[in-house]
Structure 1
Amino acid sequence: MTPTPRHAQPVPAGPSDGDGLRAGRVAPRFDGATAGRLHVAARLEDRVDAAVARVLRRRGWTVRIVSYAGYGSQGWVRVLARTLLASPAVAGQDLPGAGGAAQTGEERPAASVRGWRSFLTSPVAGAELEVRVGGATHVVTTDRGGYVDTVVPSDLPPGWHEVTLTSADGAQSVAPVLVVGAGPTVGVVSDIDDTVMVTRLPRPLVAAWNTLVRHENAREAVPGMSRLYRELRLGDADRPLVYLSTGAWNAAPAIGRFLRRHDYPAGPLLLTDWGPTNTGLFRSGQQHKVSQLRRLFAELPQVRWLLVGDDGQHDPEIYAGAVAHHPERVEAVLIRQLTAAEHVLSHGLPTATPQQEDAEEDAERPGIAVLQGADGEELLARAREHALVPGG
């Protein structure tokens, strides 16, 4: 079994969603086009990666597996990982924090680093991995970026479990997976940038500074958001919480450490690849969020989702599209309102754009509240007013 190609992850069989979560003028359409010849930028990237890999292998570098937290339900789990070349000193080791936001045991101390170091990687394309899920073993193959993103059969009961990945070189890594029960429940989908972590995106220079230069311990948490998420899951620690972002998979270990450091609940990360796509020079961050939301809605039909984001980018428009096309899958929309300074850094204006304000109004429908607040404390107060907090 092989994973689906980068940027073209089809949703397993489920209710048809037509055109998906298109949100007016800003939410892109998911075309899934990967057939045919690769884009020239992707071919160039592959040649560079292959040349670098040959040099590193001559120096004794071997495969290292970086695993990411996954999720599943009755009969299946989604496994996420990446294979990279590593020096003999670290090859075969499971990276501290590599499981994204979901590792719950003791973690080996990891020196925090500046972000640019996490982007100096050499992927291993076409590597075969054994994936052990419960008592069964499956063989998967990494794609051109070294990624595994595949659904495999599973007999695991609801709750957190561990999936073991092993390379042909003997390298191993453990990926945590959350299996969601079959009964109706409420989950949370959360943006990361400027929703749980103050990053002041997407101004290019500010984004580059925060992502590549700043020490990871200098990143700030949005006040009250971790408490909000804990309260939304009171009485049921296995309620799914998924962190959905346009950020790069390279930053997943650092993001996982940040979430644990600031006491955010465990949950899978759904990130993207910043390299050239199969069909173009740049990936669409909006399209990534749209397609992953569609996939969650189709794969976990028993879950109604609380969609949490901020009004600095396109979350209001994307979530309005989700409400318009799939109101039965949305419990409520929670929008963190950026400060005037954060808005200026984000899109040049001291307030949310008219399109964002219109989208928030569009998302509000009978039975689906749209809540706004400057931080997690304000959103928590409004969530309690709307009876979204269990027992609140």
Structure 2
Amino acid sequence: MTSRTPAPRALLRALSARGASDRPHWASRLEDIKNVTVGTALRRLGWDLRLQPFHGYGSTEQVRVLAKVLYASPGTPADFHDKPVHDMRTMAVRGWRNFAGQVAPHRTVHIRLGDHEVSVRADRSGIVDARLEVGLEPGSHQAVLWTVPGNEVTAEVTVFPSDAQVGLVSDIDDTVMVTWLPRPLLAFWNAFVVHQSSRQVVPGMPMLYQRLAHRYPALPVVYLSTGAWNVFPVLKRFLYKNGYPDGPLLLTDWGPTNTGFFRSGPEHKQRSLAQLAETFPGVRWLLIGDDGQHDPSIYAQFAADHPDRVEAIVIRQLTESEQLLAHGTLRPLAARSHDTDSPADVQAPDGHGLLEGLRTAGVL
């Protein structure tokens, strides 16, 4: 690591010199100072950079490679964060451990995929989000990422078939997995305390997804959630353990952003859906979510903006107890309905009911 990181005091002066109109949010500036301070201390203690690869995706012409740059104690193996999802020995872990790492912002990361090699810089949260113009055959590919020779890791990249006509975008929290979001105390308990292996599957949802994958053999599957990248290993192993189809996860950064103290979950989902529509212009999407947060309105807006890109909107209706935990009040089912212009608008409390609804609508 030859580049020098500015000292916290110098960083403060640089931030203060900016005009008030273009300054990031104060919480974001504090986080930047914390990252510089802690990062400087860790480097003095001999800590190294390590990469946590995520599951990327793309078409036969363009792919998206995702990862995070973190500090690791001396002697940490280069592939420490690159564990196979079928390694169940890592399941019995408290969730808080996924939030204990220190990110390394703005580091240069090298990526090699096939005959294509590029160098990119991580963002202020240590996230690498690189789009590569490269021609690849449909299927699974391995991108090699490193910051310096010797700490290479591989990131899976799924290239969806060019002839795919129907794709699946699925929410995670309270759609495929019961998490009791968004009540802060219970969300904290599920994210930081509960063992990874004790999370509950929504009844019937794995079977529904398997039926969809069987009905559409070339089905692209993307899991879109407002969860933090910190819980990527937890979610990946949960999906594998419970028999959900494999696919990339599109998550968000944890903590403040340049515009606010918290990231915008709806904005993240809206932006991701727009990117999918642009990358895969020939795909009509099955949009699956729940009625506990913003999925119905987000999906309805996407259908209004892209009426030819939606195969069906599928909404899991939360139970009464889940509604009470999520909103503090009980909303009747009629109040949770959302009219859309999509060919099918299916709602049911679990995967079994949604499967029947999709059969009735002619999707399955």
Give the TM-score, by structure 2 length: 0.89
1:41 matches 2:27: yes
* Structure number having the greater helix percentage: 2
Offset from partner CA, 1:204-247 (integer Å, 9 cap, x none): 11111111111111110101111111111116554211111111
1:375 partner amino acid: D
**355 and 222 in structure 1: CA distance in 2 versus 1, 3 angstrom threshold:** same
**97 and 350 in structure 1: CA distance in 2 versus 1, 3 angstrom threshold:** farther
**Match runs of 1:60-209 below 5 Å:** 60-97=46-83, 107=87, 109-168=89-148, 170-209=150-189
Offset from partner CA, 1:242-293 (integer Å, 9 cap, x none): 1111110001111111111111110110111121101222111111111111
Alpha-carbon RMSD: 1.9
Alpha-carbon offset, residue 183 of structure 1: 2.2
337-346 or 178-187, which deviates more? 178-187
**353 and 201 in structure 1: CA distance in 2 versus 1, 3 angstrom threshold:** farther
Which of 253, 265, 269 is matched with 1:289 structurally? Answer: 269
Retained in 2: the 8 A contact 1:311–1:352? no
1:305 matches 2:291: no
CA distance in 2, matches of 1:145, 1:167: 16
Offset from partner CA, 1:134-169 (integer Å, 9 cap, x none): 122111111111111120121211112111111215
Offset from partner CA, 1:324-344 (integer Å, 9 cap, x none): 111111000111111100100
Question: What secondary structure does 2:97 align onto?
Answer: helix
Which of 327, 352, 361 is matched with 1:377 structurally? Answer: 352
Partner of 1:26: none
Alpha-carbon offset, residue 190 of structure 1: 0.4
1:337 partner amino acid: Q
Alpha-carbon offset, residue 94 of structure 1: 4.4
Alpha-carbon offset, residue 378 of structure 1: 1.4
Alpha-carbon offset, residue 36 of structure 1: 3.3
**93 and 211 in structure 1: CA distance in 2 versus 1, 3 angstrom threshold:** same
1:370 partner amino acid: D
Retained in 2: the 8 A contact 1:64–1:84? yes
Partner of 2:204: 224
Retained in 2: the 8 A contact 1:42–1:281? yes
Bigger Cα Rg: 2
Unpaired stretches in structure 1, ≥5 consecutive residues:
1-34
1:274 partner amino acid: W
2:359 partner amino acid: R
**Match runs of 1:207-246 below 5 Å:** 207-234=187-214, 236-246=216-226
Offset from partner CA, 1:166-211 (integer Å, 9 cap, x none): 1215212211111122224101100000000000111111111111
Partner of 1:32: none
Which of 313, 316, 322 is matched with 2:296 structurally? Answer: 316
Offset from partner CA, 1:90-122 (integer Å, 9 cap, x none): 241242557xxxx6xx64742531111111121
Unpaired stretches in structure 2, ≥5 consecutive residues:
1-20
Partner of 1:57: 43
**62 and 201 in structure 1: CA distance in 2 versus 1, 3 angstrom threshold:** same
**131 and 238 in structure 1: CA distance in 2 versus 1, 3 angstrom threshold:** farther
**200 and 111 in structure 1: CA distance in 2 versus 1, 3 angstrom threshold:** closer
Question: What secondary structure does 2:23 align onto?
Answer: coil
Question: What secondary structure does 2:120 align onto?
Answer: strand
Structure of higher RCO (CA pairs closer than 8 Å, 6+ residues apart): 1
CA distance in 1, matches of 2:336, 2:275: 24
Partner of 1:29: none
Partner of 2:8: none
Retained in 1: the 8 A contact 2:228–2:254? yes
2:38 partner amino acid: V
Question: What secondary structure does 1:140 align onto?
Answer: strand
Partner of 2:328: 348
CA distance in 2, matches of 1:117, 1:278: 26
- Give every structure 1 segment of 4 or more consecutive aligned residues whose post-TM-superposition deviation is greater than 4 Å: 235-238, 352-355
Question: What secondary structure does 1:277 align onto?
Answer: coil
Partner of 2:15: none
Give the percent of matched residue pairs that are identical in Structure 1 and Structure 2: 47
Give the TM-score, by structure 1 length: 0.83
